[in-house]
Amino acid sequence: MSTTNRGKKIIIIGFSSIIILFLIYGRYQDPIVFTPSAMESIQRIALGFYITMIISIGGIGFGIYKYQKNKVEKQGKDILTIIAVVTSNFKSRKIFVVSFIGYGIFFSLVSGTLVYQPEINFVTHYGATIPSGFIAHVVMVPGYMAKIIIYLTEHVGLQIIPSNLILQIIVSYLVAINSAIAVNAYSISNKGRKYE
């Protein structure tokens, strides 16, 4: 089996696992399930959900790496090969990482994953212990269940919602790829101008 096929299979398995996780955990959204006696079991299920989701995201990342590596080695003429080749050099990887992290932080602030509230003291308003964290169960549509709330300081915290986390990773990845391609294209056009 070629590395390209292996990479594709890993990516498909990762995304399929995440979809199945959301569907299975969605069954626990009925308010009747949230009885005091069931809360400990639901906490364990939520923890398992997050661990499996992180493993699936890691698998997708590994699959993309394998897929891209194979595209670079084969040197084909399709658009995915061109993107893989353009983003495979050291400078492009550096730009990719910086863009991925930078946009990830920006997206975290905009989406409410990273919470900064200078006017509210988490200890006073919510009775939080600093630092601390817990899994909060929210009865909503699938994707918003079992959010993780972490209090880092009196005014800074994290509110991790599974669907937002996945969306944040996907959008940050796409922005980072675009940034790496744009900088590479700009460098090539500058070199072309020097030789004219």
44-76 pLDDT tens trace: 777 888 888 899 999 999 998 888 888 888 877
Dmax (CA) for the chain in angstroms is 76
Instruction: Name the pTM for this structure.
Output: 0.78
Smallest Cα–Cα separation from 177: which of 96, 64, 71?
96
What tens digit of pLDDT does each residue of 73-132 get?
A: 887 778 888 788 877 888 888 998 999 999 999 999 888 888 888 888 888 888 888 888
* Residue of 161 and 176 predicted with greater confidence: 176
Q: How would residue 195 be classed by pLDDT, with cut points 50, 70 and 90? A: very low
Distance CA(171)–CA(54), nearest Å, equals 17
Give the whole-angstrom CA distance, residue 22 versus residue 105. 25
Please report, as a single letter, which amino acid is at residue 167.
Answer: L
Own/partner long-range contacts of 105-110 (Cβ < 8 Å, ≥24 apart):
107/168, 107/171, 107/172, 108/168
